[in-house]
Amino acid sequence: MKSIWKQTKAEKLGFIDGFNLFFGALLGANLGTLGTVPLRDYVLLIILLAGTVAVLRMISTSERRLYALASLALYVGLLAMVFGSERMAPNGLSEGDLHRLVATLAIWIVAVLAIEFAPTHAEDPVSSIPPADQA
């Protein structure tokens, strides 16, 4: 009997798609509150966040795990530099908006990594059960 704590590949894809959909919408809502950020800083912030989202998606799809994890580490470092420095942080970004944006990204990254590295069944247990007429 397979462990109930292991996910199937389909369950894993469902979790990842659900997290990406939810956090993508949440990120969009966070960006919608940044009306005081000048256009130049807003565009740079969008480019930085788009790269982060792309790297998160790469974690789920790349067969080169080390490359994907190194890319994520690079983007997390870049985010830390930008959001951790008053000089590099986007102008007009309130402290509350900054904290919500960082919290959203941090929870999203941890959730994707937790699902990606959770144990997965080699095959879907339902597909290994023969149909009733063949039993």
- pLDDT for position 132: 60
Predicted TM-score (pTM) of the model is: 0.77
Query: What are the residue ranges spanned by the domains of the chain?
Result: 9-117
- pLDDT for position 92: 86
Confidence at 3, pLDDT banded by 50, 70, 90: low
Q: How confident is the model over 19-66, as pLDDT tens digits? A: 889 998 998 898 888 888 899 989 988 998 899 889 988 988 888 889
How many of the other CB atoms lie within 10 Å of CB of 65? 11
